[in-house]
Structure 1
Amino acid sequence: MIADASVRRAAHRTVLGAFEGTSVPGWLAGLADDGLGGICLYGNNLAADPLEVASLGRALAAACPSLVLALDEEGGDVTRLHYADSSPYPGNAVLGRADDLRTTGAVARAIGAELKAAGISLDLAPDADVNSNPRNPVIGTRSFGADPALVARHTAAWVRGLQSQGVAACVKHFPGHGDTSTDSHLALPRVDADLSTLLRRELVPFVAASAAGAATIMTSHIVLPALDPERPATLSPRILTGLLRGELGFSGVIITDALDMAGASAMIGVPAAAVASLAAGADLLCIGPSLRGRGRDEVRDVVDAVVAAVGDGTLPVERLYDAAARVDALSAAYATGARPADPTLVETGRAAGRRAAVAVVGEVGTVGDGPPLVVRLETGANMAVGDAAWGDLGVTGASVVSVVDGHPSATDLRGHDGPLVVVARAAASHADSWAWLRTLVDARPDAVVVELGWPAPEIDALPRVVRGWGGSLPPSRAVGEAIDRARRATAPAPAPAPAPAPAPDGPHREER
């Protein structure tokens, strides 16, 4: 019975659970006493007020100090602390194009300070994927770029900056999600690159991250036939134990991407995927958001499956104990409670991020006179981004129209008497919106198209495109300010002031 209790506690330790709602559930303390490894916060835990999100994190850290508390705070489009009001930091695409490691480190330190103040001990960031496919539906501006060496040096700088604030980094998505055309939330992608390409492209940033001391690395739900033709990385002993542990020598915690994603569990279910991933070499099992209010039961389902697998020999008990020990070490090093953020450090990071966003925005060109109209194409975002606020250009005096279902008449917009701005994310990836945009641009070739996603090649065919490289506040405002500067530069000069009336002729006589 002692052995059974030890196995069950170790099984709990390997689970990164979730719950629904914006307050700490009453059942969580009991699971923490049973050994639960951690909790990850998702969109369904986020209140409209960022202060409430931070308050929830602190409440969790105080109530259950043994838990590793995690969320996705990449900066840029993927944010949780600033979900309702848009991140005050640029994302990786801006930082990579600016290519200043001091800026990247400053942004990561500021994010780390905010997270530590919110009681968060594990940040599921940075994204280290080399975005070699410009049509990638899930990575895009989350990546530092398409050059492996650039991605590697910025990944390392981000890891060092974040972890300097007492928050563990989680470098993702091993061994690389950048060359995919499928979103692993929805299906199982494949990367058919040969081994030589993977070694010189996908794996380079992860080698740099390990050398920089990254506390954790996250797996991807992707099949890479050159490494394992049968199983996605999350379930592959060849990739997790053979490559990541053995050949690359990574000694930190291996975390799965959310196991409720189709790429991991569509065919076998979450509990079976959890057992297979542990056996493959993973240590901490992220079981995804609790969208049906089953947070406690979802954890128990996984724990029961792991205990049963140990009992029938499917999962060696030594592998389970090894995983639990790694999670214990992670918790001891980083789950140390909340610490007030240094406001100077935070503002330094935000200011550096704003400067980087301004530096990477191109020229707008000539903009006509008159009241501006901004049309927002609300084409949605992938599940990693969710419904976070985006694209607030802040163009002075502009009217803003959001297009959700259907599109306004291009003929009507053509007649707008003033500058016309259309802002979108990955506009070319949405067939209906792309067709409408091409029609509008044909009618109004002076329209300014603002692309805040990773630009697809088709965008180059448009006559006037401003690329912002992200939809969070810094790049959005940098584009808006560039448009305002162009408006001021092309505005007609003010009419000269009328000359003063001439003095009356003759001597002036004072009446008494």
Structure 2
Amino acid sequence: MRTRSRELCRLAMTVLQPGFEGTAPPDWLRRALAEGLGGAVLFTRNLAGPAQTAELVAAMREENPGVIVAVDEEGGAITRLEARTGSSWPGNLALGVADDVRATARVARQIGRMLGAADITMDYAPVVDVNADPRNPVIGVRSFGSDPERVRRHAVAWIEGLQGAGVAACAKHFPGHGDTVTDSHLALPEVRASREVLERRDLPPFRAAIKAGVRAIMCGHLLVPALDRSPVTLSRAVLTGLLREELGFGGLTVTDAIEMRAVAALQTPEEITVHALAAGADAICVGVSSPGGESVYALRDAIVSAVREGRVPEARLAEAAGRVLELARWHAEQAPARAAAARDADEGVGLKTATAALRVIGTPGRPMLRVAPLVVEMTTRPSQAVGRATAVGVGAAIGEIMPGTVVAEVAEGEDLPDLTDLRRPVVVVVRDATRHDWIQRLLARALEVRPDAVVVETGVPGTPAGAVYLATHGGSTVSARAAARRLTAIRTQEHA
């Protein structure tokens, strides 16, 4: 009996993927890893640089060599390893607009190269949601676009690029988070599309990802009535019936973080964990753990109790743990691929692709920057998915090229700076202006005073405005620098 109890505890630990505090493994995490904890998630709070990240992962592997170390590294606005500088790689929308699948694969390979250098197992990427609603507050530029075929092609290229570098990809957020107007970090989004629309629009990228051999799929905290009245994370009809039996996915299914309000408002963490496992999830992502790890052990105990009570069949738990261990074996076998990727530096592809994604509307020859401008950046609070990432903004990027550039950040409820000095050009930088009434009002007021202003949209583009309208299709550091080079390069050509 004691042997069976220990085995159940170990299986239960195997399916958990918690986050933790600190830049070194805390004592509780080391103990849990030694007891079979199958995974852990890295966040910005854990990472201080490439050498420290590699040391952190190595310390975790000392306790459990097969631990699944996961991270959100999408490129664009969503970065953990480059959170202090902003991503060197354009995000998905920029890749979709550039529409060069070879470049997408190269970008993903370079992200894989960066993660592989730290021996990270899995990237919670790519986002393969079709951004069907431009009002979407959490997907937006994280999607390859609104065309299912384009999303499908670039999803496959991204997966092949990352996994070719020896790092597992995790396509998300199944069965599609693009047609929502609610952030699942805050509440439960509902996808009201019919099954026919889901088949035509949302599922093709996931089908293609499965065919391309994606190692993992993350389910979204979504309510999709056309599929089930239960949230996807807790739905056997979706996670087993649709994903496993109909789509034929045999890899690892992982939940989105269970502390997100979409599901946390409905059930306790323990009940979410048990129901998700029963529905067909294999790994439970837990972004926030208690300082001493008590919450992780509470989840373990809840799983063990559910098995003993018959709420989760022991075979289901063993199946889930087996998929975790299979991914660990795959990662170990990919050491030669990671070594090859380490020798394949292609850092210029980030700026090149970000530049290819720029779109300019207007008469760019005349009102472009001839002297250092005033840059007004209308800042919005980033979604919780972005975390603590701090990208170089367009104003700072222009300042790197043109000393004397003045940057004024304007938040909701604040006034515009003085724009009346006609000797200084004005650049107005916005993000997702169509989603924010206050940005639209201030932008209109700014253009009344300075109709010659250049407008730079770093989110999903809307109606063009300004003498020149430049869309970057993403808010990464590399996209900001691409925009700055474009704005100042024409100045150089005019002076030539």
Relative to the length of structure 2, the TM-score reads: 0.92
In structure 1, what residue type is equivalent to 2:39?
G
Q: Deviations over 1:346-380 (max 9, x none)?
A: 3x2x3223222112212361326433111222212
8 Å Cα contact 1:88-1:473 kept in structure 2: yes
Pairwise mapping of residues 269-418 of structure 1 onto structure 2 (< 5 A)?
A: 269-290=268-289, 293-294=291-292, 296-335=293-332, 342=341, 345-346=344-345, 348=346, 350-363=347-360, 365=364, 366-367=366-367, 369-393=370-394, 394-395=397-398, 396-397=402-403, 398-404=405-411, 406-409=413-416, 412-415=418-421, 417-418=423-424
In structure 2, what residue type is equivalent to 1:415?
D
CA distance in structure 1 between the partners assigned to 2:183 and 2:382 by the alignment:
11
Would you say 1:128 and 2:134 are equivalent positions? no
2:44 paired residue number: 43
2:468 paired residue number: 464
Q: Deviations over 1:116-166 (max 9, x none)?
A: 111200110011001111111101111111111111111111111111122
Pairwise mapping of residues 19-34 of structure 1 onto structure 2 (< 5 A)?
A: 19-34=20-35
Structure 1 SS opposite 2:179: coil
1:52 paired residue number: 52
Structure 1 SS opposite 2:27: coil
8 Å Cα contact 1:32-1:66 kept in structure 2: no
In structure 1, what residue type is equivalent to 2:406?
S
1:478 paired residue number: 482
Shift of the alpha carbon at 1:50?
A: 4.6
8 Å Cα contact 2:73-2:81 kept in structure 1: yes
Structure 2 SS opposite 1:255: strand
Aligned counterpart in structure 2 of residue 432 of structure 1, from 425, 431, 438: 438
In structure 2, what residue type is equivalent to 1:373?
L
CA distance in structure 1 between the partners assigned to 2:468 and 2:387 by the alignment:
28
CA distance in structure 2 between the partners assigned to 1:210 and 1:409 by the alignment:
49
Pair 342,278 (structure 1): closer, same or farther in 2 beyond 3 Å: closer
In structure 2, what residue type is equivalent to 1:221?
H
Q: Deviations over 1:427-483 (max 9, x none)?
A: 33333333222211222111112111112x3x4355532100111122111111111
In structure 1, what residue type is equivalent to 2:207?
V
Shift of the alpha carbon at 1:489?
A: 4.5
Q: CA-atom RMSD, angstroms?
A: 2.0
2:142 paired residue number: 142
8 Å Cα contact 1:310-1:317 kept in structure 2: yes
CA distance in structure 1 between the partners assigned to 2:370 and 2:415 by the alignment:
22
CA distance in structure 2 between the partners assigned to 1:33 and 1:370 by the alignment:
61
8 Å Cα contact 1:254-1:284 kept in structure 2: yes
Pair 282,372 (structure 1): closer, same or farther in 2 beyond 3 Å: same
8 Å Cα contact 2:223-2:232 kept in structure 1: yes
Shift of the alpha carbon at 1:80?
A: 0.9
8 Å Cα contact 1:89-1:354 kept in structure 2: yes
Q: Deviations over 1:282-340 (max 9, x none)?
A: 000001233x525x112111111111111211111111111011111111111579866
CA distance in structure 1 between the partners assigned to 2:315 and 2:341 by the alignment:
42
Structure 2 SS opposite 1:201: helix
In structure 1, what residue type is equivalent to 2:472?
G
Work out which of the two has the higher radius of gyration on C-alpha atoms and give 1 or 2. 1
Pair 106,375 (structure 1): closer, same or farther in 2 beyond 3 Å: same
Pairwise mapping of residues 12-161 of structure 1 onto structure 2 (< 5 A)?
A: 12-47=13-48, 49-161=49-161
8 Å Cα contact 1:371-1:419 kept in structure 2: yes
1:206 paired residue number: 206
In structure 1, what residue type is equivalent to 2:492?
R
Aligned counterpart in structure 1 of residue 491 of structure 2, from 476, 487, 493: 487
8 Å Cα contact 2:252-2:327 kept in structure 1: yes
> Which range moved further: 444-453 or 183-192?
444-453
Consecutive unaligned residues of structure 1, counting only runs of 5 or more, are 494-512
Q: Deviations over 1:179-215 (max 9, x none)?
A: 1110000000001011111001100000000000010
8 Å Cα contact 2:109-2:341 kept in structure 1: no
Pair 293,154 (structure 1): closer, same or farther in 2 beyond 3 Å: same
Pair 157,331 (structure 1): closer, same or farther in 2 beyond 3 Å: same
CA distance in structure 1 between the partners assigned to 2:20 and 2:95 by the alignment:
33
Shift of the alpha carbon at 1:167?
A: 0.9
Consecutive unaligned residues of structure 2, counting only runs of 5 or more, are none
8 Å Cα contact 2:85-2:392 kept in structure 1: no
8 Å Cα contact 1:116-1:341 kept in structure 2: no
Pair 194,463 (structure 1): closer, same or farther in 2 beyond 3 Å: farther
Relative to the length of structure 1, the TM-score reads: 0.90
8 Å Cα contact 1:453-1:468 kept in structure 2: yes
CA distance in structure 1 between the partners assigned to 2:381 and 2:244 by the alignment:
38
In structure 2, what residue type is equivalent to 1:232?
P
1:507 paired residue number: none
